[in-house]
Amino acid sequence: MQKVLVSASHYDTLCKDAWKLFEENGFEVVFDPAKPFPSYTTEEIEARSDREDIVAAVIGMDDYRDEKKYQALPNLKAVAKFGVGVDNIDGELAKKYGVKALNAPGQNSNAVAELTVGFMLDVLRYVVPLHKEMEKGKWPRYMGNEIKGKTVGLLGFGAIARLVAKKLTAFDVKVLAFDLYPNEKAAAELGVTMTTREEVITKSDIVSIHIPATPETHHLFNAETIASMKDGAYLINPARGALVDLDALADALKSGKIAGAALDAFEVEPLPVDSPILECENIVLTPHTGAETVESYYNVSMTTAKDIISVLKGEEPLHCVNR
């Protein structure tokens, strides 16, 4: 039987409808709930006895930029990212091997947007550090900051950033945004001022990152960029870990240049226990959990399952990034 290899977490518990959809269409779902970090290395793929039966893959953080992976899966027809960002899939390489690269745009946007706004409130009010102090039996008095009246800069103005802007309309803030392909109509409707990348970075009290990781944006937030931010600004990264130089950010947090930061993605995942960022105080760190909601898992799993089935039936999928 043709198989769909799944390495998206919680697929057996939160994605039962998608699993059933695959089975109803004659495909066996292969998922290992015991795998602590569900992605598969190329070596693990090469060692599988059933690799010639695998015709599609639903992936999380697996690296599909390695040509050997495609060579190890000779009958692969589709690889679907369980989410939006496809920086771990080489679309042109996939096309070379006749593989459709798929994703699920917009299906987890609200989950990430809600976490982003939560991050802002957390770091402004020092929520996590105060909680840690109370765990020690202490009762600290810390003067936080209100989000009202602040300037929030959105680096990127795609689906997630637009939802963040919409949610921020209730907080009486000024919102700046930069995007390579600005949606002026959406900006006008949301009261957002489209401007340059430099102005977003240098004029905002809170900078929230919503752009993909590319060779051009690698370590975009390095020591130089962080130095150009407002003194006492806050940095939010619910996007991709490679966008931020963690060591430079840790230095800025320790010096007070940056008042607080919240990060959901890291260049190396899981985050190494000796990372300097863990020594900082006013931080909120979450393990790439932006899309981890019951609602988004249902949406993403059904979207990717339907597109994979379309590909395997010889039909055109709705969401393909390497047509």
The DSSP result for 221-272, as a single string, is BSHHHHHHSPTTEEEEE-S-GGGB-HHHHHHHHHHTSEEEEEES--SSSSPP
pLDDT, averaged per 10 consecutive residues of the chain (323 residues), comes to 95 97 98 89 97 97 95 98 91 98 95 98 97 96 96 97 98 98 97 98 98 94 98 98 98 98 95 97 95 96 98 97 95
Catalytic residue list contains 240: yes
Given the residues 162, 210, 288, 319, select the one marked as catalytic. 288
What is the spatial distance between Cα 65 and Cα 92, in angstroms, rounded to a whole number? 9
Catalytic residue list contains 323: no
pLDDT of residue 84: 87
Catalytic residue list contains 269: yes
pLDDT of residue 87: 87
- pLDDT, tens only, 224-235: 999 999 999 999
Given the residues 162, 210, 240, 319, select the one marked as catalytic. 240
What is the spatial distance between Cα 257 and Cα 164, in angstroms, rounded to a whole number? 25
- pLDDT, tens only, 231-250: 999 999 999 999 999 999 99
- pLDDT, tens only, 294-322: 999 999 999 999 999 999 999 999 999 99
- CB-CB contact of 256 with 233 (8 Å): no
Collapsing DSSP to helix, strand or coil, 216 comes out as: coil
Given the residues 269, 281, 315, 316, select the one marked as catalytic. 269
What is the spatial distance between Cα 158 and Cα 272, in angstroms, rounded to a whole number? 30
**For the whole model, what pTM was predicted?**
0.87
Residue 184, H or E segment: helix 184-190
